[in-house]
Amino acid sequence: MLAFREEISIPAGDIRLEAELVIPEDAKGIVIFSDGRPDSRQVPLNRFIATNLQGEKFATLLFDLPATEEVSLKSIPADIDKQSERLVKASQWVTQQNETHRLPIGYFGAGTGTAASIKAAAHLGDKIKALVIQGGRPDLSAEDAPSLKAATLLVVGGDDYYVLQQSEKVYQQIKATKGLEIIPGAGPLFEEESAPEQLSTLALQWFNEQLK
């Protein structure tokens, strides 16, 4: 049962990040989604994963790394540093709210948001407890991987050959608790039959075990 659902706006420097915060009753943690695509709150796979997390009593925060005004101007931030800074701002916002400040924080990263989540988690240290990476481009923040404190799971589609190769390299750089799972037959967007369910199952298991 949900105790709280609200559309919010998070200040991040000179822009505001439009977001959706959902908190189930007796929430045991919060997962912040990091996805570099415009309007990523509405991406079906993100919403599917978020709904399943809520069913397991995890709060979720879905927000758009590109601000609304940037999308309208077709000036979406492409650099990982900017995306990471915004994710850090969103994480700090979570720690300042009465409803969420006691909840351990995890990240679910996709697309270029995978690199942003690695960089942000490395910056925030033990404030981020668990991280799930969905394909994407984790190699764009490979230099930050050795500094991670968060337990990190990389999930890659078996048919996403380049990302699989890069993810294996990043995996070797991680010194924290880590895992690498390959979903056979899945491509970059995990749109193939059963791929979303397999991804969701792996993410739920990881957060249940590591987000404490």
Cβ(131)–Cβ(107) below 8 Å: yes
**Predicted local distance difference test score (pLDDT) of residue 77:** 45
Give me the tens of pLDDT residue by residue for the chain, a chain 212 residues long: 667 899 999 988 888 888 999 999 999 999 999 998 777 888 999 999 999 999 999 999 998 876 655 554 444 445 789 889 999 999 999 999 999 999 999 999 998 899 999 999 999 999 999 999 999 999 999 999 999 999 999 999 999 999 999 999 999 999 999 999 999 999 999 999 899 999 999 999 999 999 99
Write down the pLDDT at residue 88: 96
Query: Considering just the CA atoms, what is the radius of gyration of the chain in Å?
Result: 16
Residue closest to 11 by CA, chosen among 100, 86, 97, 103: 86
- At residue 70, the pLDDT reads 55
What's the rounded Cα separation, in Å, for the pair 27 and 64?
A: 23
Pairing of strands 58-63, 105-110: unpaired
Q: What DSSP element (H or E) covers 107?
A: strand 105-110
Are 86 and 17 within 8 A, CB to CB? yes
Q: Following CA atoms 145, 148, 44, 23 in sequence, which dihedral angle do they give, to the nearest 10 degrees?
A: -170
Can you give the pLDDT at residue 1? 63
Do residues 18 and 38 touch, judged by C-beta distance below 8 A? no
Instruction: Say if residues 76 and 38 touch (Cβ distance below 8 Å).
Output: yes
CATH topology of domain 2-210: Rossmann fold (3.40.50)
Amino acid occupying residue 119: K
A 10 A CB-CB count for 48 gives: 15
Contacts (Cβ under 8 Å, ≥6 apart) of 131: 106, 107, 108, 109, 117, 118, 121, 148, 150, 151, 152, 153
How far apart are the C-alpha atoms of 152 and 155, rounded to whole Å? 10
CA dist., res. 44 & res. 173, Å (int): 31
The pLDDT, as a whole number, for residue 75 is 45
- CA 194/CA 208 separation, integer angstroms: 21
What residue segments make up the domains of the chain, in order of their start? 2-210
H or E segment to which residue 178 belongs: strand 178-183
pTM for the predicted model, two decimal places = 0.94
In the structure encoding, which two tokens stand for residue 35, read together? 């996805």
The tokens of 85 are what? 């800074």
